[in-house]
Structure 1
Amino acid sequence: MINSDDLRFFRIIANHASLAATARALNVTPPTVTQRLQMIERKLKLKLVERHARQITLTDEGMLLAERARLILAEMDDLHEVLNSQQHEISGCLKILAPLGFGQEYVAPLVTEFQGRHQNLSVELELSDNPDWSSGHAWDIMIYIGELRNSSLKLSLLAENRRFLCASPAYISKYGQPQTPADLRQHTCIALRENAEDVTMWRFNSAGSEKQAAVRINPKLASNDGRVIKQWALKGSGIIQRSEWDVAAHLKKGELVRLLSDYELPSADIVALLGTDLRARSARTSKFLELLKLRLAQQPWHK
């Protein structure tokens, strides 16, 4: 019967293109890898790998074993973390996914603070302007901003976050201010392409009423990087729709001006997405979530 060491070994084989590459990853000789693989195949009485000149392919049985090994080993790791958490020990590896700009500004400092408190903990923080939010199994915590569509993940609110329409004083001086959402069709608008949202459809609610309006903009400029579109707006290139956390300081300094303040844009609350497995209940996850809630609920972007 194979054991967990066999499963971990075979997972490494499955993640490499050849047995030689596996040997380099393990810092052993290729014959050692071959012998260990043959031993596992004898235990199972199955052929797991097809060997070619310079590469390998998994058989159907090998593919099944690799996938089940991933699940089994993840469950074992989760169990280990939960058992540690029963002793209030924060250890293991905390894996976090966050948007690039927000992650750099507000998540990264909290990561170093948290790891500094817990010397037995390591942290992997991935920042991306185009994250794969569907890969919840790969992360302990995913930080998300914006409209969340169908998700099987557990959601925890970190901070309320409004969206504002704004432009620079230079743009307003040259082109004037829109008075209604429909006026945006006569202005230069800048689009941020993120989260698979319909970024050219700008929706508004009239403050204090149920009246709604939607305007399809024809952006002259667009980018998937929030920092880029903000810089364009600061230089007077057009009107942007941006999260409060990102433009609050610029509004306070007068570098940007809020437009159509009698209308509200859909909010983009900042939330943490958690898996439903044991890792979501581990001490490392729950304690870091507490820190996120404590600091972000204070909306530090207004300071």
Structure 2
Amino acid sequence: MSYVDNIRMFVRVFELGSMSAAARDQRVSPAVSSSRIAELERHLNVRLFNRTTRRLQPTEHGKVFYDGATQILETIERSEAAIAEISNNPRGSIFVGAPLGVGRRFIAPYVPYFKEKYPLIDVRLRLSDRFIDITAEGIDVAFSMHKLPDSNLKRRVIADCERVLCGSPDYLAIKGTPKNGVELVKNNHHCLLLRFPGTAEFRWTLKTDNSYKEYDVKGPFESDDGDVLTQWALDGRGIINKPRFEVAEHLNTGALVEVCAETPPSPVQLSCLYPHRRYQDPKIRLFIDYMAQKCSQELKKRA
């Protein structure tokens, strides 16, 4: 086995805390993952992890080796990137994360065109509305519409996205049309909630005069898939809080009707997140520039 492959496996086991998770990340079997760590430990003549029933804990030797191992891998990545840039022939895989709405509408349709333009670059797309831990999940580039805590990630803002509250005509005929957040809460409207561990979507922030106010909203239905919420709204199950581009078609046809138009939700920013060092890789820069342009174009079409 390649010594570099063993180091790369060690780094992912260290970061994920699991041999099986690292194996999935590197697309090998758990047996291969285990054998690579064992071979590395034999080579170094030290134990890198203490095995427990729930998690692998790095030893002091493992912690020291991790710092050097990451530097080794970063040096290799920079060297490969420099060669690719000189030869004008970028290659390799890019792991990309995105919310379902953005991924399905803006990213996924253009991945094949990016591949046609750069045939030696493979794009591995991961779509989910939950928060993506870029480091833990081995993501090179993540598109996001969430406000994220401070981190070492670099952030490129692509566009400001207006949000809208809306429901179906049938639902509003029964429950009434709220004009603001007070009526939304007071009249016990069924708010369709995007919820998963760590989310704060059950508090909707609406404009009030020159500021914004949070409202604790409730509803009988929730999902971790934003498109499921849209379908429920279309079916007359309640009111959704969505980026306008995701529901523009339904608003135009009248299948959904905007509510609280004078006190709209706070807008969000579509951003691209990436570890700073990875932007030095030509294929990462090419992908970010390409998709940022396509996202901006699509958002203008749907404005």
The C-alpha deviation readout for 1:104-135, integer Å capped at 9, x for no partner, is: 23211222211121122122211122232352
Partner in structure 1 of residue 85 of structure 2: 85
- How many angstroms apart in 1 are the aligned matches of 2:97 and 2:84? 23
Which amino acid is the alignment partner of residue 128 of structure 1? S
Partner in structure 2 of residue 9 of structure 1: 6
Which amino acid is the alignment partner of residue 220 of structure 2? K
Whether the 8 Å CA contact 2:179–2:263 is kept in 1: the answer is: no
Residue segments in structure 2 that go unaligned for 5+ positions in a row: 14-18, 21-27
Partner in structure 2 of residue 183 of structure 1: 183
Question: SS of 1:263's equivalent?
Answer: coil
Give the drift of 1:235.
Answer: 0.6
Give the drift of 1:5.
Answer: 4.2
The C-alpha deviation readout for 1:159-181, integer Å capped at 9, x for no partner, is: 22111000001111112201222
Question: SS of 1:110's equivalent?
Answer: helix
- How many angstroms apart in 2 are the aligned matches of 1:49 and 1:290? 39
Relative distance call for 1:192 and 1:166 in structure 2 (3 A) is: same
Give the drift of 1:259.
Answer: 0.6
Relative distance call for 1:7 and 1:67 in structure 2 (3 A) is: farther
Question: SS of 2:142's equivalent?
Answer: strand
- How many angstroms apart in 1 are the aligned matches of 2:151 and 2:7? 32
Which amino acid is the alignment partner of residue 32 of structure 2? A
Whether the 8 Å CA contact 1:11–1:66 is kept in 2: the answer is: no
Give TM-score, length-normalised by structure 1: 0.79
Give the drift of 1:203.
Answer: 1.8
- How many angstroms apart in 2 are the aligned matches of 1:213 and 1:284? 42
1:122-271 mapped onto 2 (5 Å cutoff): 122-133=122-133, 135=135, 138-185=138-185, 186=187, 187-193=189-195, 196-206=198-208, 209-271=209-271
Which amino acid is the alignment partner of residue 183 of structure 1? E
- How many angstroms apart in 2 are the aligned matches of 1:38 and 1:247? 54
Whether the 8 Å CA contact 1:154–1:275 is kept in 2: the answer is: yes
**Root-mean-square deviation (Å):** 3.4
Relative distance call for 1:69 and 1:249 in structure 2 (3 A) is: same
Whether the 8 Å CA contact 2:50–2:59 is kept in 1: the answer is: no
Partner in structure 2 of residue 290 of structure 1: 289
- How many angstroms apart in 2 are the aligned matches of 1:22 and 1:302? 44
- How many angstroms apart in 1 are the aligned matches of 2:65 and 2:88? 34
- How many angstroms apart in 1 are the aligned matches of 2:173 and 2:30? 66
The C-alpha deviation readout for 1:59-86, integer Å capped at 9, x for no partner, is: 6425643563244224312331133224
Relative distance call for 1:212 and 1:105 in structure 2 (3 A) is: closer
Q: Which has the larger radius of gyration?
A: 1
Give the drift of 1:291.
Answer: 1.5
- How many angstroms apart in 2 are the aligned matches of 1:48 and 1:121? 37
Whether the 8 Å CA contact 1:163–1:244 is kept in 2: the answer is: yes
Question: SS of 1:160's equivalent?
Answer: strand
Give the drift of 1:255.
Answer: 0.7
Worse overlay, 6-15 or 136-145: 6-15
Relative distance call for 1:137 and 1:226 in structure 2 (3 A) is: closer
Worse overlay, 80-89 or 61-70: 61-70
Whether the 8 Å CA contact 1:202–1:217 is kept in 2: the answer is: yes
Question: SS of 1:126's equivalent?
Answer: strand
Relative distance call for 1:63 and 1:162 in structure 2 (3 A) is: same
Which amino acid is the alignment partner of residue 104 of structure 2? Q
Relative distance call for 1:275 and 1:49 in structure 2 (3 A) is: closer
Give the drift of 1:98.
Answer: 1.0
Which amino acid is the alignment partner of residue 40 of structure 1? H
1:86-105 mapped onto 2 (5 Å cutoff): 86-105=86-105
- How many angstroms apart in 2 are the aligned matches of 1:219 and 1:76? 51
Partner in structure 1 of residue 280 of structure 2: 281
Residue segments in structure 1 that go unaligned for 5+ positions in a row: none
Give TM-score, length-normalised by structure 2: 0.79
- How many angstroms apart in 2 are the aligned matches of 1:125 and 1:197? 22
Whether the 8 Å CA contact 1:22–1:33 is kept in 2: the answer is: no
- How many angstroms apart in 2 are the aligned matches of 1:101 and 1:93? 23
Partner in structure 2 of residue 25 of structure 1: 32
Question: SS of 1:170's equivalent?
Answer: helix
